[in-house]
Amino acid sequence: MPVEIRGLSYDYDQKTKFQKRALFDIGFTVRDGDFLGIVGHTGSGKSTLVTHFNALNRVQQGTVVVDGVDLSQKFDYKALRAKVGMVFQYPEYQLFDETVYKDVAFGPKNLGLDEREIAVRVEAAIRMVGLDYDAVKERSPFELSGGQMRRAAIAGVLAMRPEILILDEPTAGLDPRGKREVMRLIQGFRAMCKIIVMISHNMDEVAANCSRIIVMNEGRVYGDYAPEELFHNEELLSALRIDMPAVCTLTRRLNERGFSLPEDTLDEAVLLERLVGAVRAKRGGGHA
Amino acid sequence: MLAKAARNTYNKRMSFIELNAVKFTYNSGERDEAVALDGVSLSIGAGEFVAVVGHNGSGKSTLAKLINGLYEPDEGEILVDGLSTADDKNLFDIRSRVGVVFQNPDNQMVATIIEDDIAFGPENLGLPPAEIRARVDWALAGVGMSEYAKGMPFKLSGGQKQRVAIAGVLALKPRVMILDESTSMLDPKGREEVMRVVKKLVDEEKMTVILITHFMEEAMQCGRIVVLKEGKVFLDGGREILTREAELKEAGLETPFAVRMANALRARGIGIDADVMTLPALVEALCR
Amino acid sequence: MRDIAIGQYYPVDSVMHRLDPRVKILAVLIYIVTIFFIDTFIAYGGLLLFLTAVILLSHVPPLKVLKSLRMIVYLVVFTVLITLLFYNGKPDDLLWQWWIVKIYRTAIHSSLKMALRIMFLIVGPTMLTFTTTPVALTDGVERLLAPLKLIRVPVHSIAMIMSIALRLIPTLVEEMDKIKNAQKARGADFDSKNIFKRAISLVPVLIPLFVSSFRRANDLADAMDSRCYRGAKGRTRMKVLRLTAKDFAAMLIMAAVLFMFLWLNFNFFPGLVDFRALPWFV
């Protein structure tokens, strides 16, 4: 169920004096199995772009086709939103119901599912985000800790069983452990969702998780890269004011000082092995 | 043990903020009772640049509110410049000495015009109008936001909003500034902007700064690091604390990349000096 | 861009912006009272001229001012229709009739006046907020209400509440948009034709909005406390309100304009000029 975007442009406040172009002629295709990272600094159009996938933004110019459904034509909103789930920034701020169960059930209920199916989905979703179902189902979502609230909110989207899952900065504001855990959970969602799209400012996270990266810059797609290709390209990253992941920075700095480490990995463990070898050879050689 | 030894060396300095066995519980006696601080003793001297780190819920934000007298300790005592926060009569004087920049950039602006907002603090101090004006201009210049004086906060980026919030505190000319997770909701660029301003305050204004954060890269810039874990002081000492990978992990925190790498290399028999904590230092050590 | 014009300051520099807020507040009060007193087209014409002058002097783009009327369009249309359809005029006034619908000349006049009145009522205060920062506005209110302190009205608190409300409106509007989008993404339907369903569908938006308003209010209270706020006690102001020659001139002009309107409306001096003799005096 690919998402095909062709010639997509978008203006804020269209037909007013404040009209401002936010997206310029965007074109790319997201395929099944992609864990797509969308990066770019604040205001580059990342959120405006992804909110086209579930038609929160209407297509003004160009086309967006989700699983064969052309969103620039008439289509069934509910069916689309069942297919494309979206976790917004700080999703815990949208929790509203008396109990975690009811809140998570909100989405499936809107889809018009029967109670039994809803119950199955809600339980599965709550377990998928690593919460103790029996302990939280009857609790008010507002009594949970910050990290638990975030998970409950994510469960609310998962319960709709989306085939495409979009996450806008899912780890923002969490502590290091919370960040790690949420990313681990998201990796687990790949078993259910055919496509995952993640917007993030955390390049270490993107480097460690995404299979493909789209770089946005001033409303345009700047490029479409494999992670290894993007994150070892220091010139490109600094031009775009994107942080270089630490693994890549270390590799590059060492190579500038006479090492010859291959610039093809983002994995700390791989780099470590290579370093051990290189340093042993070097120091050993020096002593001989 | 180690923590205690480190603390003793700090006690030798003139302490400006003194916490003695402080205990604080949220919703005491209710179903959702939560102990935030459980017997914390700390002493912070004038001119120190201290990071307070810890997982979410470790009590680090509660600490800021206690020092500022927004909360009163259930047990123990807090002295700011010799004044106890338990006495309401002291609060005005305490708050004019200790300013807090909070987490959410949107929730600390009182006025709709930036310069009016920054004037709020000095106005409360009862200063003459000309003096307030001078302080507002000085504070705005200090954070590099002079050109936005007549602007409105909601048009600013997150980093700019937090700089305005810093200026709002700065205009009170406090001795101590506490940044209570002030960078956690910002993008990398915003974080960098705020950290640049903070370092300037430390270096040029000789301000005492308490930086509450869970970004280890930020903590690394401080002279002293206090690690909280479940409401207790877990580690307290200089930057060398960041090399204690196992203990940091236990506290739900991360070790900076360079430290992690250095530790792993050492474990594989490659000698690297103990003081290597940054990427450039690691590169130097490996090239030697 | 949101269309909540009331409470929005338009940051440019102009004569209107520089006037003392107390003068502007008083002027708006007088203006509102005037609107209720006058009921002739000639006086409305005068009022329109006056408003145009104010808008031009304020350097606020006229389009922006017109936009402030957008939110009352329905109210105006509704009022006009009701007046037109249900007005019971004299038989000789009848213009047009179809089945039970009767349109009278006087009904047209009356509904037009009603519409003008509503629009005038909105534009005036809007001009006040466009040209006055919320801080200046609340300062002005606080100073004007100062005499009430004698009877223990918490004037400072009222002014502070007003100022914070104005400050939070744009934030909450933005927040509501975000929550609405998040719930839409979970299949919520806010566009149902059924009014009852539509009201129910707002619950998932309003609850998080309330929760977040409380959180924001709490945060803000902490931020204010930590910046040494303790009410009006010992508090000074950076921008001290001082009446200047310009303000006195503005008050005089306002008095003169008010007198003009009333003269136009009530034809005080028929011996001097008889407005009633003009063909468009109604």
**Which CATH number does the domain housing residue B54 bear?**
3.40.50.300
CA distance A152 to A147: 9
Inside any domain, residue B15: no
Per-residue pLDDT band at C9 (split at 50, 70, 90): confident
Instruction: Tell me how close the Cα of C229 comes to any Cα of chain B, in angstroms.
Output: 5
- Band (pLDDT 50/70/90 cuts) for residue B11 is very low
Q: Residue C84 and residue C110: Cα distance in Å, rounded?
A: 8
Per-residue pLDDT tens digits for A232-288: 999 999 988 888 999 999 999 999 999 999 999 999 999 999 999 999 888 875 444
Per-residue confidence (pLDDT) for residue C254, from 0 to 100: 86
- The stretch C150-156 carries a mean pLDDT of 87
User: Within a domain: residue B109?
Assistant: yes
What global pTM score does this model have? 0.85
Q: Say if residue B188 is in the same domain as residue B282.
A: no
Q: Do B150 and B199 share a domain, yes or no? A: yes
| pLDDT of the residue at C255 | 86
Asked if the structure places residue B266 within a domain, the reply is yes
Determine the Cα angle at C134 with ends C132 and C136, to 5°. Answer: 65
User: Would you say residue B10 has pLDDT above 60?
Assistant: no
- What's the whole-number mean pLDDT along residues A1-23? 87
Tell me if B129 is assigned to some domain: yes
Q: Are A178 and A171 a contacting pair, CB within 8 Å? A: yes
Which chain C residues touch A82 with a CB distance below 8 Å? Answer: 187
- Answer whether A15 touches C (CB < 8 Å): no
- In chain C, helix, strand, coil percent, each to 5? 70, 5, 25
Pair (B164, B277) in one structural domain: no
Query: What is the distance between the alpha carbons of residues B190 and B156, in angstroms, rounded to a whole number?
Result: 11
Q: Are residues B265 and B145 in the same domain?
A: no
For the cut 80, the answer to whether the pLDDT of residue B266 exceeds it is yes
Residue C3 has pLDDT above 50, yes or no: no
Looking at the structure, tell me whether residues B271 and B133 fall in a common domain: no
Residue with tokens 């990427």: B279
Our count of domains for chain B comes to: 2
- Check residue A287 and give its pLDDT: 47
Q: Using one digit for the tens of pLDDT, what is the confidence trace for B44-63? A: 999 999 999 999 889 999 99
For C238, name the nearest residue in chain B, comparing CA atoms only. Answer: B129
Q: Taking CB atoms and an 8 Å limit, are A257 and B283 in contact across chains?
A: yes
Q: What is the pLDDT of residues C67-103, one digit of tens each?
A: 888 878 888 888 888 888 777 777 777 777 777 777 7
- Identify which of C96, C120, C94, C100 has the alpha carbon closest to the alpha carbon of residue C39: C120
Please judge whether B264 and A201 are an interchain contact, meaning their C-beta atoms are less than 8 angstroms apart: no
The boundaries of the domain holding residue B192 are 47-73+89-242
User: How far B279 CA sits from the closest chain C CA (Å)?
Assistant: 37
Chain C positions in Cβ-Cβ contact with residue B99 (cut-off 8 Å): 226-227
The per-residue DSSP string of B45-61 comes to ETT-EEEEEE-TTSSHH
Q: Kindly state whether residues B142 and B227 are assigned to the same domain.
A: yes
The alpha-carbon gap from C118 to the nearest alpha carbon of chain B, in Å, equals 28
% of chain C surpassing 90 pLDDT:
24
Domain membership flag for residue B167: yes
Backbone CA torsion sign across C30, C32, C34, C37: negative
Percent of chain A with pLDDT over 70: 98
Q: Does residue B247 lie within any of the structural domains? A: no
- Which residue among B92, B119, B133 sits closest to C230, beta carbon to beta carbon? B92
Q: pLDDT higher for C11 or A34?
A: A34
Query: Helices A100-110 and A115-128 sit at what angle, rounded to 10 degrees?
Result: 120
**For C24-73, what is each residue's pLDDT tens digit?**
999 999 899 888 888 888 888 888 889 999 999 999 988 888 888 887 88
Same domain? B146 vs B54: yes
Question: Does the pLDDT of residue A231 top 80, yes or no?
Answer: yes
CB contact under 8 Å between C187 and A78, yes or no, is: yes
Given this model, what pLDDT does residue C281 score? 62
- Asked if residue B68 belongs to a domain, the reply is yes
Q: Does A174 touch chain B (CB under 8 A)?
A: yes
Please list every residue in chain B whose beta carbon sits closer than 8 Å to the beta carbon of residue A268.
257, 260-261
Q: Closest Cα to residue B51, out of B244, B221, B254?
A: B221
Within this chain, do residues B122 and B176 fall inside the same structural domain, yes or no?
yes
Whether residues B185 and B262 share a domain: the answer is: no
Q: What is the mean pLDDT of residues B98-121?
A: 93
Same-domain status, B274 and B225: no
B202 and B132 part of one domain: yes
Residue B8 within a domain: no
Residue B9 pLDDT more than 50? no
Nearest by CB to residue B261, choosing from A42, A176, A272, is A272
For residues B202 and B183, give the distance between their C-alpha atoms in angstroms, rounded to a whole number.
17
Residues B98 and B193 in one domain: yes
